[in-house]
């Protein structure tokens, strides 16, 4: 009996020893293979790391594996995030965690160091998606090309001048396709008021826009015309109707006012002159309409020939308001809000004429009669 008990004890001790050795062996095996396993999950380690650091960071990454590979907020909206020039990786990781873009700032920092991305993150503004995991966010920070672009349309630009800004804007469509679609907008997803417009000239509202870099041309035009519809209020449209103007006619007149006025505060006065002329059947005789009709001036390298020659005033075009009465068939540029407002709320005057002051200030002299107008001429 004693012999059997002794043999059993020896067997149990042997089994415990074997189990311990197996466990230690398994642990040793896992540690030995840690860099290889980390490479499979997190990619290659930075060549700048020593062997001990590779083991150390690989172990830390595996301890936080779930937090690194899971998105911070799968249903979250994209956020705008700026990486500051010269910002430390520790600061960046902390701010990303605070912004809700990643789960764990410390684990994210460890991953950047392990992978060598800590020296490749680019300063700049990003659109970051919290539905991406930390590894994907890290890759996103290597390209500072913004996902949004800023595009500025100045009041008084015609479609071709807007097109000239496209090549350096970061938007993906050509100036030629833009101009073609402006002048043939049929079938575009436009606001209801513009579905029958023969051209979008005049309805591309001047403003500074922040746009997705990958926006399509159709979407781009929908944004610009949508802003026009938002800014030109029902009250302004009702005022246009009081002056006997359709929306298209009001925009056409506003485009002329925009190009005539150098000083914005004079726009209501200039609008009143043209409305007074329309009311009595006088020709508008506006130089900018002739400039529009002439098109691009190769010598001056501008769409707005200045000064005009007397022969220019004879150009045979329906846009030439020296030759043809009433409003031209469409807008000559894209007027800003102040010009559109000036046509809705013009000054109450009896003026029929205006000309530039002789002091080159940009202001005009206004007159009721042609004789008075002639007397305002510069010596």
The predicted-structure confidence for 52-82, as pLDDT tens digits, reads as follows 999 999 999 999 999 999 999 999 999 989 8
* Main-chain dihedrals φ then ψ at residue 83, nearest 5 degrees: -90, 120
CA dihedral of residues 168, 170, 173, 175 (deg, nearest 10): -20
- CB-CB contact of 225 with 191 (8 Å): yes
| pLDDT band (50, 70, 90) for residue 124 | confident
User: What residues have CB less than 8 Å from 117, skipping those under 6 apart?
Assistant: 111, 138, 139, 141, 142
pLDDT of residue 28: 53
pLDDT of residue 16: 44
Rounded Cα–Cα distance for residues 221 and 114 (Å): 46
Strand segments (E) across the chain: 79-83, 124-128, 148-152, 208-212, 353-356, 364-367
Rounded Cα–Cα distance for residues 315 and 293 (Å): 8
* Main-chain dihedrals φ then ψ at residue 345, nearest 5 degrees: -130, 70
Rounded Cα–Cα distance for residues 250 and 329 (Å): 12
Mean pLDDT, range 319-327, rounded to an integer: 98
- Which of 81-95, 254-268, 311-325, 365-379 has the least mean pLDDT? 81-95
Pairing of the two strands 208-212 and 353-356 = unpaired
Question: Among 134, 125, 129, 82, which residue's Cα sits nearest to residue 106?
Answer: 134
- Residue 86 carries which DSSP code? T
- CB-CB contact of 229 with 223 (8 Å): no
Question: What domains appear along the chain, each with residue ranges and CATH number?
Answer: 36-146 (3.30.1490.480), 148-231 (no CATH), 243-375 (no CATH)
In Å, the largest CA–CA distance within the chain is: 141
- CB-CB contact of 352 with 277 (8 Å): yes
Strand segments (E) across 262-343: none
Instruction: Kindly tell me the sign of the dihedral angle through the C-alpha atoms of 5, 7, 11, 14.
Output: positive
pLDDT of residue 9: 56
- CB-CB contact of 161 with 194 (8 Å): no
Pairing of the two strands 353-356 and 364-367 = antiparallel
The predicted-structure confidence for 212-245, as pLDDT tens digits, reads as follows 889 999 999 999 999 999 999 999 999 999 999 9
Angle value at C-alpha 226, between 223 and 229, nearest 5 degrees? 160
Instruction: Give the N- to C-terminal CA distance of the chain in Å, as an integer.
Output: 138
Give Cα 191 distance to the centre of its chain. Answer: 20
pLDDT of residue 376: 94
| pLDDT band (50, 70, 90) for residue 14 | very low
- In 3-state terms, what secondary structure has residue 209? strand
User: What residues have CB less than 8 Å from 16, skipping those under 6 apart?
Assistant: none
* Main-chain dihedrals φ then ψ at residue 79, nearest 5 degrees: -125, 150
């Amino acid at each position: 009996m004693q012999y059997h008990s002794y043999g059993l004890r020896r067997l149990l001790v042997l089994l415990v020893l074997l189990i311990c050795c197996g466990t230690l062996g398994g642990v040793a095996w896992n540690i030995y293979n840690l860099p290889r396993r980390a490479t499979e999950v997190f990619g290659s380690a930075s060549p700048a790391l020593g062997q001990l650091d590779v083991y150390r960071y690989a172990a830390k990454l595996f301890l936080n594996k779930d937090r690194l590979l899971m998105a911070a907020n799968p249903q979250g909206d994209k956020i705008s995030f700026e990486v500051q020039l010269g910002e430390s990786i520790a600061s960046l990781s902390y701010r990303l965690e605070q912004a809700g873009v990643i789960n764990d700032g410390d684990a994210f920092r460890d991953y950047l160091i392990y992978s060598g991305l800590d020296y490749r993150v680019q300063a700049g503004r990003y659109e970051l998606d919290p539905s991406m995991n930390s590894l994907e966010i890290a890759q996103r920070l290597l390209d500072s090309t913004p996902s949004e672009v800023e595009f500025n349309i100045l009041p008084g630009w015609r479609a071709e001048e807007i097109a000239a800004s496209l090549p350096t804007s970061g938007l993906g469509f050509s100036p030629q396709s833009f101009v073609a679609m402006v002048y043939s907008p049929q079938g575009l997803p436009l606001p209801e008021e513009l579905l029958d417009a023969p051209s979008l000239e005049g309805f591309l509202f001047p403003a500074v826009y922040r746009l997705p870099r990958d926006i399509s041309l159709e979407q781009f035009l929908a944004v610009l015309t949508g802003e026009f519809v938002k800014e030109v209020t029902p009250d302004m449209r009702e005022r246009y109707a009081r002056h006997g103007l359709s929306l298209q006619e009001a925009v056409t007149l506003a485009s002329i006012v925009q190009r005539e006025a150098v000083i914005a505060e004079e726009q209501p006065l200039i609008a009143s002159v043209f409305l007074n002329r329309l009311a009595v059947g006088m020709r508008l005789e506006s130089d900018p309409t002739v400039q529009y009709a002439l098109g691009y001036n190769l010598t001056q390298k501008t769409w707005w020939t200045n000064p005009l020659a007397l022969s220019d005033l004879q150009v045979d075009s329906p846009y030439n308001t020296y030759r043809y009465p009433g409003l031209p068939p469409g807008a000559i540029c894209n007027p800003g809000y102040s010009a559109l407002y000036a046509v809705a709320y013009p000054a109450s005057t009896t003026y029929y004429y205006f000309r530039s002051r002789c002091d080159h200030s940009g202001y005009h002299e206004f007159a009721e009669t042609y004789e008075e107008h002639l007397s305002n001429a510069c010596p």
